[in-house]
Structure 1
């Protein structure tokens, strides 16, 4: 095992590809995400307005949107078609259409409609714009209803406000109150790229031609590879966790020791599984493709950007066998919720169990199957020699 570990370390030092994949790319990703998502929340979103009413009320409503930090009224048009064209060309991300006679209809209690149009091609933009626009419109609606009650029924201001509101609704977002995309996405994307890096390097780690030559190298050969890449993966998780918590400023409310243990569990499971792939598939290119097909999709689909609960039932059942599923939410929760080891015991046990089973099978493949192949070769050589002797006689 020690020899295999040293062999992999030597290959890492002498080669350049694995250093880039294992160490450089994850660090670059932390840097890139730290810069790209540094804005944290969407602000000054360009919107277009088609105000067919032109009343003091409609103009005041537009000012409410423009004064909010989420929106910036960049375009005004008299045509609904031109407004939709602005959104189609991505110049505006949302639009407000106020119909003609809107204020008069509202004063006559006819319940007119305001049309909000969103750029649905970007779901993040749509979600933020819709939530904020709804908040502004509901607040404005309550104010107008209050004024109508005061004017028509002679209610006091306080009574009219209570009647217009019906009930008071308050919401509070825990653990990510600022709705920061940086805090939400960065740990997940970094975790996924480190997993992919470990998987691809481990999937090309078994050198079958060396096993054919030296039988002694088979014993502990797999364990050395798995241990090496487990340490590499864990080291990168620790380093990137520290960088995200300091340089990127992502809140880290949990224990570093818990993060290390979870990282070790995932690195062990992924390393063992991909070394198994390398042991079974001798062609390195095929092994890399196989590992990529198994690891890369679940790095993106394991609840990193879209919740697992919203995925098809069949995939949800299958996903629970994937080690990354047992890691990704816990890793994010360590950052944002301060999750403790007691919350993650079952997931940690699964990752170690998955890695142990993969390691045992890989050792069996390398020791037993390679030995069986060698015996077959010896028998062929022996038969060939006997045949030559018989011919000579």
Structure 2
């Protein structure tokens, strides 16, 4: 069995060197996509969000507020308009994602403590842009509001500036963002996205890895053949995953606070879980195209299905149950925690144990297919040959 396993691994290695397809799909394409993803999110945050301002007051105060937005890197104020109809048209045609309307007599109403309202409008068709814009706009307006309030207290009550400031800030609120203080999309998304690409490569190659013409001998040889394939694709996938981690950490400066040896262990366990599943599908579904499609449907949308981009707790209960059955669920959040929190092996041990049980169960199902279904196929072929000879 062991000799068959080693022979199978050598055959796959020779094929990779000769035909290059395994190398291209499992190593080169993930490398290239990692580079592209890294550059895509290199700015960390969404910037230059197109914005229009409708200033009906045109006072020194309203112009100062507009200037604060114009000078902030998150916004690109490229429209100063004269009416609300023009604002609507700009939104309808997707020329802007954010709008601000400053009402008439704004400065006068502020001075008279009438609490005028600045209207902020966001394009909800693009939620990530709207969320970023709303967060930054609230920050700017809150800072301005505090400054204006201090000036009003100072002027109305004829108080010193420091006393006015203490009155305005009698209750303070502070926020602290742990682990990702820059609110970087790159830090949040890239580790899992790069993993998903490697995972897809493993399942696509594994779906066509079992070839009837390569299977020789009896039950022990069949077991060795399956295990050889599983080990080869697990190693290649694990190497690709570690390469992805290195690229994101060292080239694109995503902080990696965990231990690399623990990341290597977690990555190889995931790679084996994905490899044995794709090989098992290849064993039981003899049509290569159908096996590839099944693997693709199950694994390609994993970043969404397991809650990496949209949290699992926000999904319906059946989706939550289904999402936890995928190996990627046990890997992606743990990897992100290793990057950003420096999580240790003890933090992820339950997930590693789950993956090991998953590997054992799926491998058992795959080996059953190798032993019985492929054996039955050979026996039927032998009977057909015998019938031909006798006739």
Moved more, 100-109 or 73-82: 100-109
Secondary structure (helix, strand or coil) at the match of 2:51 reads strand
Q: How does 1:140-289 map to 2 (within 5 A)?
A: 140-211=144-215, 214-215=217-218, 217-289=221-293
Question: How far is 1:340 from its partner?
Answer: 0.6
Normalized against structure 1, the TM-score is what?
A: 0.92
User: Over residues 38-66 of structure 1, what are the superposed CA-to-partner deviations in whole Å (9 max), with x where a residue is unaligned?
Assistant: 21223343321100111121111112222
* 1:361 equivalent in structure 2: 365
Match of 1:320 in 2: 324
**Which residue does the alignment assign to 1:123?**
127
Q: Deviations over 1:19-44 (max 9, x none)?
A: 22111111111111222222122334
- Once residues 219 and 328 of structure 1 are traced to their aligned partners in structure 2, the CA distance between those partners, rounded to angstroms, is 31
Pick from 326, 336, 341: which aligns with 2:340? 336
Distance 2:108 2:287 in 1: 76
Q: Name 1:68's counterpart in structure 2.
A: 72
Distance in 2 between residues matched to 1:130 and 1:303, nearest whole Å: 24
Q: Can you list the C-alpha shifts for 1:119-173, whole angstroms capped at 9, x where unaligned?
A: 2222221111101111111222222233333333444434433333341111111
Structure 2 residue runs of 5 or longer lacking an equivalent are none
Q: 1:391 maps to which residue?
A: none
Q: Take 1:300 and 1:41, find their aligned partners in 2: how far apart are those partners? A: 21
SS in structure 1 of the partner of residue 277 of structure 2: helix
Displacement of 1:226 after TM fit? Answer: 0.5
Aligned residues: CA RMSD: 2.1
The C-alpha deviation readout for 1:263-317, integer Å capped at 9, x for no partner, is: 0110010001110000001111111001111111214432332222222221111
Distance 1:363 1:375 in 2: 18
Report how far residue 257 of structure 1 moved: 0.3
1:14 is matched with 18
Q: 2:54 maps to what in 1?
A: 50
Aligned residues: 386
TM-score (norm 2): 0.92
Is the contact made by 1:12 and 1:19 (CA closer than 8 Å) also made in structure 2? yes
Distance 2:211 2:378 in 1: 16
- Report if the CA contact (8 A) 2:153-2:164 is conserved: yes
Equivalent residue of 1:120, what SS? coil
Query: Do 2:305 and 2:319's aligned partners in 1 also have CA atoms closer than 8 Å?
Result: no
- Number of the residue aligned with 2:306: 302
- Report deviation, 1:190: 0.5
Matched residue of 2:79: which SS?
strand
Among 96, 103, 113, the alignment partner of 1:92 is 96
